[in-house]
Homo-oligomer: A and B are copies of this chain.
Amino acid sequence: MKKTVCVAVTGGAGQISYGLLFRIAAGEMLGTNQPIILHLLEIPSMMDALTGVRMELEDCAFPLVHDIVCTDSPQVAFRDCEYALLVGARPRGKGMERKDLLQANASIFSAHGKAMNEVAARNIRVLVVGNPANTNALIAQQSAPDIDPGAFTAMMRLDHNRALAQIAQHAQVPLTAIQRVSIWGNHSATQYPSISHALVGGTAASEVVDISWYRNEMIPTVQQRGAAIIQARGASSAASAANAAIDHMRDWVMGTPEGDWTSMGIPSNGSYGVREGVICSYPVHCADGRYTIVPDLDIDEFSRNKIDLSVQELFEERAAVESLL
């Protein structure tokens, strides 16, 4: 067994956390040899519900869970944490403009960033799930100047997995036959799911996948999948989001498979023409607990336009919360 680590999860009593916590506790995220202490954060009005979640976690008798801390204080929640999954966010209320939503969340993620800066482990890894995830991650990062800026990431893995699933269905191949799909940009309807470098059974996807299906069906399907799930289920995609959060963290820590990569929202650094200052999705390799942007990919004109459009949106979101940076 490894040394016990603290894992913070915000929005602990929400639907995504309900699909997430039990899988983290079972060892799916950090491995079955990694004991954990769960730090669950909620707003005061949700503390009773959070107690219920804690009782259920206890009732699973998970051998890996050494303690569960429930709190409404970010300073308690993030203390000594090496992993933080920022799931809780303010949903869009009636009559709220996009700018209102960005700012309401900015104040939450600013507070969380400051608390992490004060009390979190210096090697913390942060995944922002709560939307608008990329800009929330940026706010948290900018509020934590004493933590490695690269520690702040946003979840693009649900989009990545959705793209894999669409291609597998279209090409009628097992999921494991598909490699090197990339999601670029913002976790929003402007995101760009790219198959430019993808392989299907080792063959270039462009030779296997119908290009008009890709452009006219697959891209919008992936972009709008969340709405389609709400339409069918009558509730948002909680369990698949939770699954993507586990995949994101696990691959970051344990590495991506040989010959493949994944997509993560990470600080832009000028690579592929995305200037510094936003949390942008790139294709990344993970190894030795670190991510690196996949280098030297050719970007065709179609891709260039799609990436630029989504990055432009990221900078617009940044501008809307600039006063808090």
Contacts and interface: CB of A to CB of B under 8 A. Distances in A.
Contacts of A234: 48-49, 52
Interface in A51-107: 51-53, 55-63, 66
- On chain A, which size bracket covers the interface? 35 or more
Contact of A176 (B18, B63, B161): B63
Interface stretch (A117-125, A187-195, A224-232, A314-322): A224-232
A231 B52 CA distance: 8
B239 A18 contact: yes
Contacts of A63: 174-176
A23 interface: yes
A244 to B, nearest CB: 8
A227 B48 CA distance: 14
Given A22-B23, A26-B23, A239-B18, A232 B58 contact: no
A224 B279 CA distance: 48
A31 interface: no
Q: Which of A56, A229, A242 has the most CB of B within 10 A?
A: A56
Q: Which of A26, A235, A242 has the most CB of B within 10 A?
A: A26
B59 A162 contact: yes
Contacts of A37: none
Contacts of A56: 229, 233, 237, 239-240
A161 B176 CA distance: 35
A55 B175 contact: no
Contacts of A13: 233
A19 B239 CA distance: 8
Interface in A186-242: 225, 228-229, 231-235, 237-240, 242
A165 interface: yes
Given A63-B174, A63-B176, A55 B228 contact: yes
Contacts of A233: 13, 48-49, 52-53, 56
A174 to B, nearest CB: 7
Contacts of A55: 225, 228-229, 232, 237
A62 B175 contact: yes
A61 B164 contact: yes
Contact of A19 (B18, B51, B169): B18
A158 interface: yes
Contact of A26 (B18, B28, B49): B28
A63 B18 CA distance: 23
A176 B35 CA distance: 12
A143 interface: no
B61 A165 contact: yes
A201 to B, nearest CB: 14
6 contacts: A19-B19, A19-B239, A23-B26, A57-B240, A59-B162, A60-B240
